Structure 1
């Protein structure tokens, strides 16, 4: 089994078996990233870039910070709502859809972003680039029946 497939299976297993531990580790990662200005936690396996996405909880109204892998495409930051292939849709994606706006933190840069779910040829083109950057992403769809959307986070004015 190739390494990237093995890593995808392992990360899916962690998310399914220990969701609270995963959320706690994500909170710690996001906090260290913000405190260090992106010097800590800015790369994931195979060097994939990480940013912190801040959203507002759709039920709690509280700020939530989540580290996510991203790919630059012009002015947009492209992210995947994979949750390591778990059946549960990531809360950050539900919160972002509900609010229509969030904040992307890349290193020391902060910017307001609006989500746009990618479809068609644009989705296919950017999915290929995402998988080139992070090969494990290719395997996540095998672990769930839900679609794994790609989202362009585009500059927002609000």
Structure 2
């Protein structure tokens, strides 16, 4: 994350050719800022995140944190924005999922490895 921040995402701004953002949430127990690098998909002014946790049976901590406090900060390259995160409802997820799989096929594999429905998170400008 330090390299991403120091270079405004020019270095370490991609993973396997996919764009990365830095998502900062507030810890649901600690109240401390927690930053996680994540692959994202742009959807107009919104950002779409996938709480895949690599197909593991539990949701990632960043997802639990933003459910408790949906006001987040997102850095993409040199731009940082305050955003409001929410979990996509079933209809939105069904509409977005094919686009997400086309964007990053690993998410489809991860879904096949777990019994939980992998949440899709929509971040909208605050």
With normalisation by structure 1, the TM-score equals 0.75
In the alignment, is the contact (CA less than 8 A) between 2:70 and 2:86 conserved in 1? Answer: no
Which residue in 1 is equivalent to 2:6?
A: 35
Higher-strand-fraction structure: 2
Which residue in 2 is equivalent to 1:125?
A: 95
Structure 1 stretches of at least 4 aligned residues deviating more than 3 Å after TM superposition: none
* Partner Cα distance (1:138, 1:149) in 2: 12
* Partner Cα distance (1:96, 1:145) in 2: 22
Return 73-82 or 36-45, whichever deviates more: 36-45
Aligned alpha-carbon RMSD (Å) = 1.2
* Partner Cα distance (2:120, 2:70) in 1: 15
* Partner Cα distance (1:96, 1:34) in 2: 21
Q: SS of 1:34's equivalent?
A: helix
Specify every segment of 5 or more residues in structure 1 that has no aligned partner in the other structure, as ranges: 1-29
Which residue in 2 is equivalent to 1:63?
A: 33
1:104 maps to 2:74: yes
With normalisation by structure 2, the TM-score equals 0.93
The 5-angstrom pairing of residues 111-150 of structure 1 reads 111-150=81-120
- Displacement of 1:87 after TM fit? 1.3
Q: SS of 2:58's equivalent?
A: coil
Query: Would you say how many aligned residue pairs link Structure 1 and Structure 2?
Result: 126
Higher-helix-fraction structure: 1
- Displacement of 1:120 after TM fit? 3.5
